[in-house]
Amino acid sequence: MENRLRINRDTLAELADIQLLLVKNEGLKGGRSFPNTQSGFLNTILTDYVNYLHEGLLNGKNYSELISDAFGGVNSLSDLKLQNAELQRQNKVIIDRVYQLIYMQLFAQVDLYESSPGWENQIGSVFDPSNSYGEVFAEIQKIVERDQQQFFKGRAKKKIKL
């Protein structure tokens, strides 16, 4: 039996990236030591993965369940990449909304400044619940909390992790 293993270019490139990351950052190793050669590095990773699979199969899990457990509920690395792309898209939407809120605040301040001289002396602290600004701030905070709960509830239904 020949003792050769062929690896496609993409996998080999990803393996080299992982090895380089571990060489550059000792903290990523988690206290483990890895061989310096590519062959030794691959053997270490394969041994860990094979042991994980072997233990899981002996415990009655099928391969798909093991992969799903290893990747946090997804069935393949490509599914994980799709989820990552979706999270990045959603993150961009959230950042865009934050910028929209910042601009709305700026426009409101300019409007307030132009329409009411001396407004900066009249406004109260938003953290003081005894004035109307504090009440408005508290109500806005409730809306933000409600929206966050709905946002994370929707993510849980889709089984998408952050």
- Contact between 11 and 19 under an 8 Å Cβ cutoff? The reply is no
> What is the number of residues in the chain?
162
- Name the region of 49 (left: φ>0; alpha: ψ -120 to 50; beta: rest): alpha
pLDDT of residue 162: 45
- Contact between 53 and 46 under an 8 Å Cβ cutoff? The reply is no
Work out the angle at residue 158's Cα, subtended by the Cα atoms of residues 153 and 18, and round it to the nearest 5 degrees: 110
Work out the angle at residue 115's Cα, subtended by the Cα atoms of residues 113 and 119, and round it to the nearest 5 degrees: 50
The pair of structure tokens assigned to 60 is 């009655």
pLDDT, tens digit (0-9, with 9 covering 90-100), for 83-126: 888 888 888 888 888 888 877 777 776 676 667 776 666 666 66
Please enumerate in sequence order all residues whose Cβ is within 8 A of that of 74, keeping only pairs 6 or more positions apart, or say none. 68, 80, 83
HEC readout, 141-162: HHHHHHHHHHHHHHHHHCCCCC
Torsion of CA 131, 135, 137, 140, to 10 degrees: -160
pLDDT of residue 27: 83
HEC readout, 32-76: CCCCCCHHHHHHHHHHHHHHHHHHHHHCCCCHHHHHHHHCCCCCC
pTM exceeds 0.75, yes or no: no
pLDDT of residue 24: 85
pLDDT of residue 105: 77
Q: Which regions in the chain score pLDDT beneath 70? A: 1-2, 72-77, 109-110, 112-114, 118-129, 131-134, 152, 154-162
